[in-house]
Amino acid sequence: MRFVLCILLLAVRSGHASETSKGWSDWLSEAKALRNTGNYSAAAHAFREALATAAHSNIDERQLVVLHDALAGAYAEAGQFAEAEGEYRRALALVEKAEGQDSLHYAVLLGDIAILPTQTGNREEVIALLHQAIAVNARIGSPVDITVARECLAQILRREKRYQEAEPLLLDAIADFAKQKVADPAPMAAALNNLAVLRFDQQRYQESVDLQLESIRVWETALGKEHPSLIAPLNNLATTYVKMGRFDDADVTYQRAISVCRKTLGEDHLDYAVLLENYAVVLRKLGRKREAKKFQAQGQQIERASDRHNGVSSTVSVTALRSDRTASDPR
């Protein structure tokens, strides 16, 4: 099985917390710094400490939502999907109480839950809610929040193979991010990668490659050449090379992705398993069957451990879309 990695906009909407309580805000600042460096497990620990400290401080529910939302994102990036869902649902309950189910924030949190790999049910209700929230808030909502909502909806639609509906949302998101000149590179780089995945689904492989290379360039310029945010577009680039029959290029690209993943996320992360299984496909194409068997077995072992932790079977990474059915068709 081969996967294409689809980036989620985790913790993009983290907001700016007040300095009303130095203890929790210091933990929050540390957590954000750790997340920006790609140390997601340590970031999750710092976010937990921020929440624990905040429990003894006089902060409002909006700030608690920021903390639960950010912790959920860190958990998801660390491959702890069950924990991520729990924190998203805590944030969701607070938003529902404060803003109601018609708010844009409520809809996007539901979207965040829907695109976790632990969620496999019918997403029609979430799709309808996101459509409604975007329409209602188009004029009064934050431009960044509206753009994030569009991309969240696009990811769900793409997973449902509703490509014609997803495409304009992603194109609008990229145009909006460029227009807004957002300082954080994550939204634009993620949007480029996710459009690349859509182009892959549409069998427009050269366009997909071009978008993946641009996504990689944005990440490298902002965060350096060994940040875990590079894992998804590198994997996707290699997967597309396989589809195009460019196995030597895929070999080199997978090796780089595996190296970055090993150094940053570790060898027990689900993304590492995805990469090993994908690389095994290339090794078979290149006639290196013994190596392929080794990587395949190692990847499957890591997947089983992740399944046990998250309470699901056949988990796909938070950023993953696997391919290897006979050729390279992603799911």
Per-residue pLDDT tens for 109-156? Answer: 988 888 887 777 778 888 998 898 888 887 777 788 888 888 889 988
In sequence order, what are the residues at sequence separation of 6 or more whose Cβ sits closer than 8 angstroms to the Cβ of residue 267? 302
Q: The domain at 2-330 falls in which architecture?
A: Alpha Horseshoe (1.25)
CB-based contact 213:176 (threshold 8 Å): no
Per-residue pLDDT, 148: 84
Cα→Cα distances 72→116, 216, 225, 270, 302, Å: 11, 25, 26, 17, 22
DSSP SS3 for 162: coil
Report the distance separating Cα 75 and Cα 193, nearest Å.
21
Residue 88 and residue 112: Cα distance in Å, rounded? 8
Q: Which amino acid, 117?
A: P
Q: Residue ranges of the domains in the chain?
A: 2-330
Separation between Cα atoms, residue 158 and residue 26, nearest integer Å: 39
Tens digit of pLDDT per residue, the chain (331 long)? 345 555 544 433 444 444 444 589 899 999 999 998 999 999 999 999 999 998 888 888 889 999 999 999 999 999 888 899 999 999 999 999 998 888 888 888 988 888 887 777 778 888 998 898 888 887 777 788 888 888 889 988 998 899 999 999 999 989 988 887 767 788 889 889 999 999 999 999 999 999 999 999 999 998 999 999 999 999 999 999 999 999 999 999 999 999 999 999 999 998 999 999 999 999 999 999 999 999 999 999 998 888 787 765 444 443 443 444 333 333 2
